[in-house]
Structure 1
Amino acid sequence: MESSMPRTAAIFAVSAVTIGLATTAYFVLSAESGDRFAQCRGGVVSGGGGAIGGPFSLISETGERVTETDVIDGLSLVYFGYTYCPDVCPVDLFRNGEAVRALDEQGIEVKPVFITVDPERDTVQQMAEYTDFMHPRMVGLTGPRADIEAAIAAYRVYSGRVGDDPQDYLMDHSSYSYLMDPNEGFLEFFPSSTPPEEMAERIACYAAEL
């Protein structure tokens, strides 16, 4: 199968749509009282932010086994998708990269992280090429299916295969970006509709409170 990179570059203008509505029930667009980050939030997680995130052990784009403590060692934007995604993933990841660049200009370092939901096709090499194209600091994570499923469950991500062809198939999945901190854990989620300028502004707000 041909590399997805040329196709990715051609479809950045495609409007992003939120896939995997099964996860929507986790998110409530209101701020909790007594929350020191209340002025930064666009929403909270039903059941509390502790419902999102947790341990994982995956393979990095450099071929090393890493855990959540290795990856989320500072403010991080975590996104689940796949490199063969024809529309929403490249748009969201490019948007995340733009937000990170805007934050760099403010002296705020945020690590963009991309975890595949399609490890059967997303090899270490494929992830490295894809993430390098999106942002030079983006970390790509793949691994055995069982390890990917554990990460998917920890982040309450919806994912399902569409199609029976062993190579030519799609992955339906939720498309939220999660702002994580090594000490606070989950801080915020950003749907596909959030523009990079708003993401950068809200992340900067969190950074100021940490």
Structure 2
Amino acid sequence: MNRRAMTHHFRLLPVLLASLALAACGSQDAGQPAADRPPLEGAAIGGPFSLVDKDGKTVSWDVFKGKYRIVYFGYTFCPDACPMDMQALMKGFAQFEQSDPQLAAKVQPIFITIDPERDTPEAVGQWTSAFSPRLVGLTGTPEQIAAVEKAFAAYSAKGEETSGGYLMDHSRIAYLMGPEGEPLAMLPVDKGGDAVAAELGKWVK
């Protein structure tokens, strides 16, 4: 297992939790119990971007306006963490889609590479299609990827070159964003598809 990827998942949690605490202090709604509020409500996560899809067409964040968005950062050469996370994520999404097709139609799963050097539009398209036809894969220039990582509080770093290539050290967080691009929750890919489906059912309305 890619232990470095797991490490940075936990390193980012204190940062996210701190932003959540600040958000909670500044946006309390007396009419809504805290348990009914999205855990990432008010957090500074997300923002506009311009990337390209499997066909090389430009895709902006605004293209998905009006839809809930699942956003995961990874790379197609990832030997274990990304495939496991994506399998759990899309399994959960499929369960949610089966239980409520109308609500699932409002959700767009998105995979964004953190390895633009190797992840061409074609490579990203082939990789995402192995998990679901509903999953959109995006790539871009190193500068574009760095900007979107920063906007979503994601982390990545290139590992050492070896005879077999290199690995990427990266965070493992699947964000659920609302119809206006607002952060809602982190989907529990580490707990499997059932947990992901339950979380989607809690926040997608």
- For this structure pair, what is the TM-score category when the shorter chain's length is used for normalisation? 0.7 to 0.9
Residue 89 (structure 2) pairs with residue 89 (structure 1): no
Deviation at residue 41 of structure 1 after TM alignment: 6.3
Residue 29 (structure 2) pairs with residue 34 (structure 1): yes
1: distance between equivalents of 2:46 and 2:159?
26
Partner letter of residue 178 of structure 1?
Y
Judge which range, 160-169 or 174-183, deviates more.
160-169
Aligned position for 1:18: 6
Using the size of structure 1 for normalisation, the TM-score is 0.80
Deviation at residue 42 of structure 1 after TM alignment: 8.0
Partner letter of residue 62 of structure 2?
T
Using the size of structure 2 for normalisation, the TM-score is 0.82
Partner letter of residue 146 of structure 1?
E
From the superposition, tell whether residues 67 and 184 of structure 1 become closer, same or farther in structure 2 (CA, over 3 Å): closer
| Counterpart contact for 2:46–2:181, Cα < 8 Å | no
Aligned position for 2:194: 197
2: distance between equivalents of 1:121 and 1:196?
29
Partner letter of residue 24 of structure 1?
L
Aligned position for 2:111: 114
2: distance between equivalents of 1:116 and 1:37?
37
| Counterpart contact for 1:40–1:206, Cα < 8 Å | no
2: distance between equivalents of 1:189 and 1:82?
19
Aligned position for 1:185: 182
Aligned position for 1:64: 57
From the superposition, tell whether residues 42 and 54 of structure 1 become closer, same or farther in structure 2 (CA, over 3 Å): closer
From the superposition, tell whether residues 172 and 200 of structure 1 become closer, same or farther in structure 2 (CA, over 3 Å): same
| Counterpart contact for 1:175–1:191, Cα < 8 Å | no
Residue 135 (structure 2) aligned to one of 132, 138, 151: 138
Aligned position for 1:77: 70
Residue 184 (structure 2) pairs with residue 148 (structure 1): no
Aligned position for 1:171: 168
From the superposition, tell whether residues 133 and 41 of structure 1 become closer, same or farther in structure 2 (CA, over 3 Å): farther
Identical positions, percent:
33
Q: Which runs of 5+ in 1 are unaligned?
A: 1-13
Q: Which runs of 5+ in 2 are unaligned?
A: none
| Counterpart contact for 1:52–1:154, Cα < 8 Å | yes
Q: Deviations over 1:99-142 (max 9, x none)?
A: 11111111222221100000010001101110000111100000
Aligned position for 2:157: 160
What is the number of equivalent residue pairs in this alignment? 192
| Counterpart contact for 1:69–1:182, Cα < 8 Å | no
Deviation at residue 167 of structure 1 after TM alignment: 7.1
